[in-house]
A = this chain, B = another copy of it.
Amino acid sequence: MHPDENNESRLPLRIALIGAGGFLGTNLARYLGSRVAEVRCFGRRQAFPDALQGFRWITGDTSLDTTEALSEVIADCDAVIHLASTSNPTTADRDISADAQANVIASLRLFDQCVAAGIKRLVFISSGGTVYGIPAHVPIPESAPTLPITAYGVAKLAIEKYLEVYSRLRGLDYRVLRISNLYGPFQTAEKKQGVVAAFLSEAMRGEHLEIWGDGQVVRDYIYVADVAESVLAALQHQGEQRIFNIGSGTGLNLIELIDAMEHLLGRRLQRQFRPGRPVDVPVNILDCMLAKKELGWYPRTDFPDGLRRTAEWLETWHRQQRCQVG
């Protein structure tokens, strides 16, 4: 649905999406665009400019001191969704203090601006895959110990903890969504963001699938449209809870993931095993019962269906890329 249509049924919310130009941001803008009064997008660049046509876009970088551009985007907004990040679990470890500067400090400056602008609700997209570290038990509830093993996870956790202080001292109302391993349309293999997009792309190109470790690493894969629903629920949530796991609640290892892809594509995929990486916890499955109870949210897309829709999007995207090159 185009963001300009069907104004009557929309929630009377003006929302700023901070970090709107990437995989999740593009999905969120499109999902919320037809459900709330206004979505303003802020980010360093648009990975998929065609997909964000019709949205108000402001270019800026939260990791720099872009006070003016940020002020402009959040002025008069009811809510802010913060998903800006300059790094991922692999890259954040390269220069830990620079990563903390670009993400933790940048988030605090954003929160200061939200307080100054009188933002009524901030939703922070955190990382259910990294804040817990190596879990003692799965599925992992929100109350489990948070012992991240990567700088990426520590940064997300520190931002969560600072949000609680902003809430207590500055009155900034917030919700945190700890998202598991995301997959879906607008995720590409180029940015090494997700194994689903990476494997599907390799499969479509007829390449070997590169498996880090022995393939027994278990992850909780959540379809991006389901996450978008959880964000809308978090924007409206009334209640005492602040932090919610958002995942499928079930785990797949890499071999099972590849099996599902072989089933979808109807052919055998070649596998190439690589040494494991220190950023990989052995297992991560989120307990999402609190989100069900408090947000009325549950993951509606089963994995085979999400995988099919992701593969369809990737196929179209690859075709467009080839046309642009050719």
Residues in A lying within 8 Å of B, measured CB to CB: 93, 96-97, 100-101, 104-105, 108-109, 111-112, 143, 145-151, 154, 157-158, 161-162, 164-166, 168-169, 278
A162 touches B169 (CB 8 A): no
On chain B, the residues within 8 Å of A278 by CB distance are 168-169
If A104-B104, A104-B158, A105-B101 touch, whether A165 touches B149 (CB-CB below 8 Å) is yes
B158 touches A161 (CB 8 A): yes
- Report the separation of the CA atoms of residues A154 and B157 in the bound assembly, to the nearest whole angstrom: 10
Which residue of the partner chain B has the closest CB to A166? B96
- Report the separation of the CA atoms of residues A97 and B110 in the bound assembly, to the nearest whole angstrom: 10
- Report the separation of the CA atoms of residues A2 and B73 in the bound assembly, to the nearest whole angstrom: 62
On chain B, the residues within 8 Å of A150 by CB distance are 165
If A97-B108, A100-B105 touch, whether A161 touches B157 (CB-CB below 8 Å) is yes
Oligomer: number of copies: 2
Which residue of the partner chain B has the closest CB to A152? B165
A109, A143, A169 — most chain B CB neighbours (10 Å): A169
Q: Taking chain A's interface residues, is the majority helix, strand, or loop, or is none over half, making it mixed?
A: helix
Which residue of the partner chain B has the closest CB to A170? B96
- Report the separation of the CA atoms of residues A151 and B145 in the bound assembly, to the nearest whole angstrom: 20
B104 touches A100 (CB 8 A): yes
- Report the separation of the CA atoms of residues A112 and B97 in the bound assembly, to the nearest whole angstrom: 8
Which listed residue (B96, B148, B154) contacts A112, Cβ 8 A? Answer: B96
How far does the Cβ of A161 sit from chain B's closest Cβ, in whole Å? 4
B93 touches A97 (CB 8 A): no
- Report the separation of the CA atoms of residues A104 and B93 in the bound assembly, to the nearest whole angstrom: 16
Which listed residue (B111, B146, B149, B162) contacts A168, Cβ 8 A? Answer: B149
- Report the separation of the CA atoms of residues A164 and B147 in the bound assembly, to the nearest whole angstrom: 8
How far does the Cβ of A278 sit from chain B's closest Cβ, in whole Å? 6
On chain B, the residues within 8 Å of A151 by CB distance are 162, 165, 169
Which residue of the partner chain B has the closest CB to A154? B161
How far does the Cβ of A169 sit from chain B's closest Cβ, in whole Å? 6
Report 7 cross-chain contacts, Cβ distance below 8 Å, ordered by A residue: A93-B165, A93-B169, A97-B109, A97-B112, A100-B104, A101-B105, A149-B165
How far does the Cβ of A255 sit from chain B's closest Cβ, in whole Å? 26
Which residue of the partner chain B has the closest CB to A162? B154
On chain B, the residues within 8 Å of A158 by CB distance are 104, 154, 157-158, 161
- Report the separation of the CA atoms of residues A210 and B22 in the bound assembly, to the nearest whole angstrom: 54
Given contacts A96-B166, A100-B104, A104-B104, 7 further A-B contacts (CB under 8 A): A100-B162, A101-B105, A143-B145, A148-B164, A149-B164, A154-B158, A158-B161
How far does the Cβ of A280 sit from chain B's closest Cβ, in whole Å? 12
How far does the Cβ of A217 sit from chain B's closest Cβ, in whole Å? 17
- Report the separation of the CA atoms of residues A148 and B147 in the bound assembly, to the nearest whole angstrom: 16
- Report the separation of the CA atoms of residues A18 and B303 in the bound assembly, to the nearest whole angstrom: 52
- Report the separation of the CA atoms of residues A73 and B294 in the bound assembly, to the nearest whole angstrom: 53
B165 touches A148 (CB 8 A): yes
- Report the separation of the CA atoms of residues A145 and B145 in the bound assembly, to the nearest whole angstrom: 7
A154 touches B165 (CB 8 A): yes
- Report the separation of the CA atoms of residues A147 and B111 in the bound assembly, to the nearest whole angstrom: 19
